């Protein structure tokens, strides 16, 4: 196999995640050569306005997908939660590895979340987090924030914020666990679809070569959970303007393969949480039940 050109954003987290995947592949294919190609996306450049105002999830992947389609790279590494449900024709995304911690975390200069004073300022860039945090603490102020993890942590001091809410997965991959004051249980703050999951994106004509590698990266549980969560996201129309949380758990008890799906959705001033469980083979019916319940709000 030729040298594989791997496209990724240039942030510390994106490069860390890319190296995680490359190093894992090299354990099984030590002779493979890789070249990391850093690509700047619109989301990296326009880092002050909220994502919902300037284009949503696709801001972090379009330039990378363009490079993939144009043959400038052979594969791309993404945080799967950043991937829109619509993928350009000719491309394919594949979840890899065991899912990292899917929860959201609270980072602060002093207090734990429950101890925050009234009117404390907590920052997040996510509508999903915003509405769920407000439901837990309607007495605090939620303010917007953008930038990579290091930038947001720095802004916490510069803007005199009482805390910020981030994804646990990125914090753990960067070894910043010690900064975490609280982990929000998934039933209190339902994660974004596919939060904690890494994905490889390839052109379909690269599929035969990549599938020499993919069995080394595949985790069955993660595969089924990502498929279920993206299915719900697609049916509901999830994007950065949609305060949608989706978290699923796949279980194989030896006789049956089960999937449990928890969804949070905000509509007309109300936060709804729905949980459905069934056989993995019935995922279409399960997702339709969830969508019907959301539509019935």
Question: What are 23-39's pLDDT values in tens digits?
Answer: 999 998 888 899 999 99
At residue 44, the pLDDT reads 74
Instruction: Calculate the CA dihedral of residues 275, 272, 56, 174 and round it to 10 degrees.
Output: -60
Fold of the domain spanning 4-97+197-219: D-Maltodextrin-Binding Protein; domain 2 (3.40.190)
The answer as to CATH 3.40.190.10 being correct for domain 104-184 is: yes
Q: Given strand 270-279, what is the order of strands in its sheet?
A: 244-252, 257-267, 270-279
Count other Cβ atoms within 10 Å, centred on residue 195. Answer: 27
Tokens of 40: 């700047």
Average pLDDT for residues 262-281, to the nearest whole number? 93
Selecting among 74, 82, 104, 162, the annotated active-site residue is 82
Q: What gap in Å lies between CA 259 and CA 20, rounded to an integer? A: 28
Q: Is 212 left (phi over 0), alpha (psi -120 to 50) or beta?
A: alpha
At residue 79, the pLDDT reads 95
List Cα–Cα distances, 62 to 55, 81, 192, 271, in angstroms: 11, 15, 20, 31
Rounded to the nearest integer, the mean pLDDT of the chain is 91
3-state secondary structure the chain: CCCEEEEECCCHHHHHHHHHHHHHHHHHCCCCCEEEEECCCHHHHCCCCCHHHHCHHHHHCHHHHHHHHCCCCCEEEEEHHHCCCCCCCCEEEEEECCCCCCCEEEEECCCCHHHCCCCCEEECCCHHHHHHHHHHCCCCEEECCCCCHHHHHHHHHHCCCCEEEEEHHHHHHCCCHHHEEEEECCCCCCCCCCCCCEEEEEEHHHHHHHCCCHHHHCCHHHHHHHHHHHHHHHHHCCCCCCCEEEEEEEEECCCCEEEEEEEEEEECCEEEEEEEEEEHHHHHHHHHHHHHHHHCC
Query: Which tens digit of pLDDT belongs to each residue from 103-126?
Result: 999 999 888 999 999 999 999 989
The answer, yes or no, to whether residue 295 has pLDDT greater than 70, is: yes
The answer, yes or no, to whether residue 49 has pLDDT greater than 60, is: no
Q: Is the dihedral of CA 4, 36, 217, 94 positive or negative?
A: negative
Active site residue 82: yes
Read off the pTM: 0.92
Q: What is the DSSP letter of 168?
A: H
* Strand, helix or coil for residue 81: helix
Identify whether the C-beta of residue 244 lies closer than 8 Å to the C-beta of residue 236: yes
Average pLDDT for residues 205-209, to the nearest whole number? 74
Query: Which tens digit of pLDDT belongs to each residue from 53-86?
Result: 555 566 789 999 999 999 999 999 999 998 988 8
Q: Parse the chain into domains and list their residue ranges.
A: 4-97+197-219, 104-184
Domains 4-97+197-219 and 104-184 share a fold: yes
């Amino acid at each position: 196999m030729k040298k594989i050109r791997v496209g990724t954003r240039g942030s510390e987290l994106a490069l860390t995640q890319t190296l995680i995947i490359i190093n894992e592949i090299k354990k099984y294919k030590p002779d493979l050569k890789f070249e990391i190609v850093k690509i700047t996306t619109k989301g990296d450049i326009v880092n002050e306005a909220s994502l919902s105002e300037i284009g949503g999830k696709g801001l972090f992947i379009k330039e990378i997908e363009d490079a993939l389609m144009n043959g400038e790279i052979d594969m791309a590494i993404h945080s799967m939660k950043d991937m829109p449900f619509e993928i350009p024709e000719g491309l394919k995304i594949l979840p890899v590895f065991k899912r990292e911690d899917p929860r959201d975390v609270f980072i602060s200069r002093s207090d734990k979340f429950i101890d925050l004073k009234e009117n404390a300022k907590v920052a997040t860039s996510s509508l999903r987090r915003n509405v769920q945090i407000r439901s837990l603490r309607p007495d605090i102020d939620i303010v917007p924030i953008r930038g990579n993890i290091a930038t947001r942590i720095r802004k916490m001091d510069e803007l005199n914020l009482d805390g910020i809410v981030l994804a646990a997965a990125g914090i753990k991959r960067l070894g910043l666990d010690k900064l975490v004051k609280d982990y929000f249980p998934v039933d209190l703050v339902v994660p974004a679809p596919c939060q904690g999951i890494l994905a490889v994106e390839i052109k379909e004509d690269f599929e035969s070569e990549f599938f020499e590698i993919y069995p080394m990266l595949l985790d069955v549980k993660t595969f089924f959970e990502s498929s279920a969560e993206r299915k719900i996201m697609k049916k509901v129309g999830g994007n950065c303007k949609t305060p949608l949380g989706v978290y699923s758990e796949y279980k194989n008890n030896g006789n049956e393969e089960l999937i449990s799906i928890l969804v949070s959705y905000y509509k007309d001033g109300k936060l709804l949480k729905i949980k459905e469980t069934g056989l993995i083979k019935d995922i279409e019916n399960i997702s339709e039940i969830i969508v019907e319940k959301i539509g019935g709000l």
